[in-house]
Amino acid sequence: MYSWHAQDYQNLATNIKKHSFNALLVHGAANSGRAELINELIKFALCQSPQDLNACGKCSSCILWNEGNHPDITSLVADSSEERKSLQIKVEQVREIIDFASKSRHLSPRKIIHIPDAMQLNLNSANALLKILEEPVPECIFILQTNNINKLLPTIKSRCFKYQLAHPRWSEALAVVQENNLDNAEFWLRYFHGEPLFIPPFENHELVQLRTTLLKPSIDAIFALVKELDPKRVGMAQLLDFMFKWLSDLLLVKQGSAANYFAEDTEDMHKLVVKINYDKLFNLQENLVFLTLWSEHPLNHKLQFENLLFKYQQIYV
Ligand SMILES: [Zn+2]
């Protein structure tokens, strides 16, 4: 668990101890150690002889938890082997969870149902889940996590104890990134909104090639980029995210501000944005949104990426 979550841990563990809620919804800090914090909390909630607000680490519950083999906790996650636009938890899975909740505990003081990504609930599975959230089973806690609480169904939110995690300070986050001797540490940290536990999506030379191509989108440069950065290898979602951020910076520069993610390119962007056609740029953004929804789907991403880059070239008229 990271130092900036110490207070969050105290707050949440105290509330678990006091039985303040049957369902907890934790949001924020997706790449800032949320998973580590939740793991600590679950271990504490399951522990048979907690020491104040910490798990003992020695009881059978703690041992089973460390082995990843605890019978009083289950996770509700979408089946990632399915080909769909987005990963979704199914109603049948929620029924299995309700069954799990109704059975008696094995060894821990409470049972836990963990939903690491509540955004995977669709309308049907969320409605199925509501029933059990409305009539909670004693000694059974739901722990839900989400990156974007605004996109969750209000009915789910209203039945949960909502908790927003602290964000690390810039200096704390940078220290974590620098420990890993990462090149362009400050650039990537800005790119990932100050949340330090990211994996850089591109190698150094790839980052340079992406930036230079977007600064000078010639036909040759576009073909060379698509050849070098095959979306199948680097991930379409990563390329789309890069382009989103680049376009949002172009708009900032066009409005007279400094670029946010690509601060070093602000000056070069100034020269570029003189020729920008807004309609074409917004149209390109819509294309990006559409493709993001399908980024896990096996389309011909190489062709899609190439098309996007040619459309990008066309926004300068
Ligand atoms: Zn223990």
Distance between Cα 118 and ligand 1 center (Å): 28
- What residues flank ion ligand 1 with Cβ within 5 A? 47, 55-56, 59, 62
Distance between Cα 59 and ligand 1 center (Å): 4
What tens digit of pLDDT does each residue of 211-220 get? 999 999 999 9
CATH fold for the domain made of 3-167:
Rossmann fold (3.40.50)
Distance between Cα 150 and ligand 1 center (Å): 36
pLDDT surpasses 90 at 238: yes
Distance between Cα 105 and ligand 1 center (Å): 16
Looking at residues 128-151, what average pLDDT do you find? 92
pLDDT surpasses 80 at 295: no
Helix, strand or coil, per DSSP, at residue 41 = helix
Write down the pLDDT at residue 49.
97
pLDDT surpasses 80 at 297: no
pTM of the full structure: 0.83
What tens digit of pLDDT does each residue of 41-87 get? 999 999 999 999 999 999 999 999 999 999 999 999 998 877 666 78
Distance of CA 161 to the CA centre of its chain: 20
**What are the start-end ranges of the E strands in the chain?**
23-27, 73-75, 111-115, 140-146, 161-164
Distance between Cα 106 and ligand 1 center (Å): 14
Spans of all domains in the chain: 3-167, 201-314
Write down the pLDDT at residue 84.
65
pLDDT surpasses 80 at 138: yes
What tens digit of pLDDT does each residue of 107-129 get? 999 999 999 999 999 999 999 99
pLDDT surpasses 70 at 140: yes
Percentages helix, strand, coil for the chain (3-state, rounded to 5) are: 55, 10, 35
Write down the pLDDT at residue 86.
72
Distance between Cα 38 and ligand 1 center (Å): 16
Distance between Cα 159 and ligand 1 center (Å): 29
CATH fold for the domain made of 201-314:
Zinc Finger, Delta Prime; domain 3 (1.20.272)
Distance between Cα 46 and ligand 1 center (Å): 7
d(CA 231, CA 18): 49
d(CA 115, CA 119): 9
pLDDT surpasses 80 at 284: yes
Helix 6-17, helix 34-46: angle, nearest 10: 30
Write down the pLDDT at residue 83.
66
Write down the pLDDT at residue 301.
87
DSSP assignment string, 98-154: HHHHHSPPSSSSSEEEEES-GGGB-HHHHHHHHHHHHSPPTTEEEEEEES-GGGS-H
Distance between Cα 74 and ligand 1 center (Å): 18
Looking at residues 90-101, what average pLDDT do you find? 94
Give the mean pLDDT of the chain. Answer: 93
The reply to whether 3-167 and 201-314 are identical in fold is no
Six token digits for residue 126: 């969320």
Q: Residues of 191-207 as b/e, b for ≥16 C-beta within 10 angstroms?
A: bbebbbbbebbbeeebb
Distance between Cα 65 and ligand 1 center (Å): 9
Distance between Cα 223 and ligand 1 center (Å): 58
Distance between Cα 313 and ligand 1 center (Å): 59
Distance between Cα 103 and ligand 1 center (Å): 22
What tens digit of pLDDT does each residue of 150-187 get? 989 999 999 999 999 999 999 999 999 999 888 899 99
Write down the pLDDT at residue 293.
82
What tens digit of pLDDT does each residue of 242-264 get? 999 999 999 999 999 999 999 99
